């Protein structure tokens, strides 16, 4: 008998450790609503310490109400309702003066189907985090709509004008309008490609096709891209360290990372844009730096966010997705990226990547 008691206590202690490890709040009551257990997350979310709750009544300690002010526990009525009922779907609820919590429950029956309710397990999740996520989704939709609308408005405006008054314009005027339409169409295509990358990064569906990548050659290519777009070749400098290891990376994604960082150096920075590639203990580090104003330390975490653009960068036509995508691509390779002040005073974006292994290894 004594042994069983000790065993029971050991099991109870182990259970309480386990429920305290859960990321969600958990409350367990008996069929009358007497509280049997409250885990650490539930105590944190409700601001009611476990020792003030256990042994007391659910409706007294946790008087959850829905958005219409109805008492949740009363409406739940564990003993009433159909005997087959067990799952109580998640709902947003409030405690008096408290934040919104997402609450779900399960009526544990004995025997499992159609038996009497033995216990009620209740899970709590922070509603604030979810509300923030939903708000950021809504923001995303409105930002995307806005970003798509401005080039499309211009496409529509110029084509409508050209169709209506074709004969009234000179060839040169028509050419200028068509060039604008062409550029705006490119902008829409680019935005959509970027958005697809963002959604792949966010959902973890980004696939890497690793191969041996010659980083200095990729850097030269990124520079050549800017030169082809009209920049002076003297604006760029490439510094390559000794003994670079063999790197197994996704070449297209590396190109995308470098093109974005070099473009930012040109567009948001000033002076020479330097790409430096050096080996580090477990891979390589690549820094792209310029001699412009740089990024203020307090803004550093923000530059990697979606749609974040610094003060006058909006006028420069970007969407603010570039660095978010760069970070996602670097991290997909197991690397990290940071921004700091370059020795020359501008911005220095530095990413490191592990050497990687072939896909089939
Ligand atoms: N080299 C840099 N020097 C100074 N500020 C920079 C630099 N690179 C980025 N920034 C700041 O970070 C912001 C976000 O950069 P990001 O590349 O994500 O967006 P973007 O360049 O504005 O648009 P795009 O989506 O076309 O890349 C920029 O708007 C700019 O304010
Ligand atoms: Mg950019």
Structure confidence at residue 5 (pLDDT)? 64
- Residues 155 and 248 placed together within one structural domain of the fold: no
Domain boundary (188, 203, 218) is at: 203
Structure confidence at residue 198 (pLDDT)? 86
- Residues 191 and 297 placed together within one structural domain of the fold: no
- Residues 119 and 136 placed together within one structural domain of the fold: no
- Residues 121 and 14 placed together within one structural domain of the fold: yes
Q: Which residues contact 136 (CB under 8 A, 6 or more apart)?
A: none
Q: Is 25 in the pocket of ligand 1 (CB under 6 A)?
A: no
Taking CA atoms only, the protein residue closest to ligand 1 atom 11 is 310
Two tokens at 205? 């569906």
Q: Hey, which of 310, 312, 351 would you mutate to test ligand 1's pocket, going by the most ligand atoms within 8 Å of its Cβ?
A: 310
Q: How many distinct structural domains can be found in the chain?
A: 3
Q: Hey, which of 322, 339, 349, 350 would you mutate to test ligand 1's pocket, going by the most ligand atoms within 8 Å of its Cβ?
A: 322
Point out the ligand 1 atom lying closest to the alpha carbon of residue 323: 18
Domain boundary (203, 219, 238) is at: 203
Q: Hey, which of 315, 323, 329 would you mutate to test ligand 1's pocket, going by the most ligand atoms within 8 Å of its Cβ?
A: 323
**pLDDT tens digits, one per residue of 290-345:** 999 999 988 888 899 888 888 766 555 678 889 999 999 999 999 999 999 998 88
**What separation in Å is there between the alpha carbon of 269 and the centre of ligand 1?**
9
Structure confidence at residue 203 (pLDDT)? 84
- Whichever domain contains 92, its CATH number is 3.30.450.20
- Whichever domain contains 340, its CATH number is 3.30.565.10
Q: Is 269 in the pocket of ligand 1 (CB under 6 A)?
A: yes
Q: Is 264 in the pocket of ligand 1 (CB under 6 A)?
A: yes
Give the span between the Cα atoms of 110 and 179, in whole angstroms.
74
Taking CA atoms only, the protein residue closest to ligand 1 atom 17 is 322
Q: Are strands 100-110 and 116-126 parallel, antiparallel or unpaired?
A: antiparallel
Q: Is 318 in the pocket of ligand 1 (CB under 6 A)?
A: yes
- Residues 26 and 98 placed together within one structural domain of the fold: yes
What residues flank ion ligand 2 with Cβ within 5 A?
264, 318, 322
- Residues 242 and 348 placed together within one structural domain of the fold: yes
**C-beta atoms surrounding 133 within 10 Å:** 10
- Whichever domain contains 174, its CATH number is 1.10.287.130
Q: Is 126 in the pocket of ligand 1 (CB under 6 A)?
A: no
Structure confidence at residue 99 (pLDDT)? 76
Give the span between the Cα atoms of 288 and 283, in whole angstroms.
17
Q: How far is CA 278 from CA 243, 245, 304, in A?
A: 8, 9, 23
Q: Give the domain extent around 344.
A: 210-360
Give the span between the Cα atoms of 186 and 284, in whole angstroms.
34
- Residues 26 and 135 placed together within one structural domain of the fold: no
3-state secondary structure the chain: CHHHHHHHHHHHHHHHHHHHHCCCEEEEEECCCEEEEECHHHHHHHCCCHHHHCCCEHHHHCCCECCCCCEHHHHHCCCCCCCCCCEEEEEEEECCCCCEEEEEEEEEEECCCCCEEEEEEEEEEEHHHHHHHHHHHHHHHHHHHHHHHHHHHHHHHHHHHHHHCHHHCCHHHHHHHHHHHHHHHHHHHHHHHHHHHHHHHHCCCCCCCEEECCHHHHHHHHHHHHHHCCCCHHHEEEEECCCCCCCEEEHHHHHHHHHHHHHHHHHHCCCCEEEEEEEECCEEEEEEECCCCCCCHHHHHHHHCCCCCCHHHHHHCCCCCHHHHHHHHHHHCCCEEEEEECCCCCEEEEEEEECCCCCCC
- Residues 175 and 224 placed together within one structural domain of the fold: no
Domain boundary (171, 203, 235) is at: 203
Point out the ligand 1 atom lying closest to the alpha carbon of residue 308: 14
**What separation in Å is there between the alpha carbon of 214 and the centre of ligand 1?**
26
Which ranges of the chain have pLDDT less than 70? 1-8, 11-12, 312-317, 360-361
Structure confidence at residue 298 (pLDDT)? 86
**What separation in Å is there between the alpha carbon of 323 and the centre of ligand 2?**
6
């Amino acid at each position: 008998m004594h042994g069983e008691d000790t065993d029971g206590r050991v099991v109870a202690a182990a259970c309480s450790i386990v429920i305290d490890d859960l990321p969600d709040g958990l409350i367990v009551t008996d069929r009358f609503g007497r509280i049997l257990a409250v885990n650490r997350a539930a105590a944190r979310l409700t601001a009611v310490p476990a020792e003030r709750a256990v042994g007391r009544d659910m409706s007294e300690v946790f008087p959850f109400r829905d958005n219409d002010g109805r008492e949740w526990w009363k409406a739940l009525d564990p003993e009433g309702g159909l005997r087959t009922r067990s799952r109580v779907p998640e709902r947003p609820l409030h405690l008096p003066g408290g934040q919104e919590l997402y609450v779900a429950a399960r009526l544990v029956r004995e025997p499992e189907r159609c038996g009497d309710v033995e216990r009620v397990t209740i899970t709590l999740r922070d509603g604030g985090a979810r509300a923030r996520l939903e708000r950021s989704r809504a923001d995303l939709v409105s930002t995307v709509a806005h970003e798509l609308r401005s080039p499309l408005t211009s496409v529509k405006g110029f084509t409508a004008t050209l169709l209506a008054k074709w004969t009234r314009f000179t060839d040169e005027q028509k050419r200028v309008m068509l060039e604008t339409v062409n550029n705006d169409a490119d902008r829409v295509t680019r935005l959509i490609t970027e958005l697809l990358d963002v959604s792949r990064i966010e959902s973890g569906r980004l696939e890497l096709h690793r191969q041996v990548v010659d980083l200095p050659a990729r850097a030269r290519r990124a520079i050549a891209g800017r030169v082809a777009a009209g920049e002076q070749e003297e604006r760029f400098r490439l510094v390559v360290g000794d003994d670079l290891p063999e790197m197994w990376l996704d070449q297209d994604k590396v190109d995308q990372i470098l093109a974005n960082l070099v473009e930012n150096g040109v567009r948001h920075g000033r002076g020479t844009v330097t790409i430096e590639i050096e080996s580090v203990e477990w891979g390589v580090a690549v820094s792209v730096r310029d001699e412009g104003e740089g990024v203020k330390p307090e803004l550093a975490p923000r530059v990697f966010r979606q749609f974040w653009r610094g003060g006058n960068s909006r006028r420069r036509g970007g969407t603010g997705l570039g660095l978010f995508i760069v970070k996602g691509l670097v991290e997909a390779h197991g690397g990290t990226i940071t921004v700091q002040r370059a020795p020359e005073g501008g911005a220095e974006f530095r990413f490191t990547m592990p050497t990687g292994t072939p896909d089939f290894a």
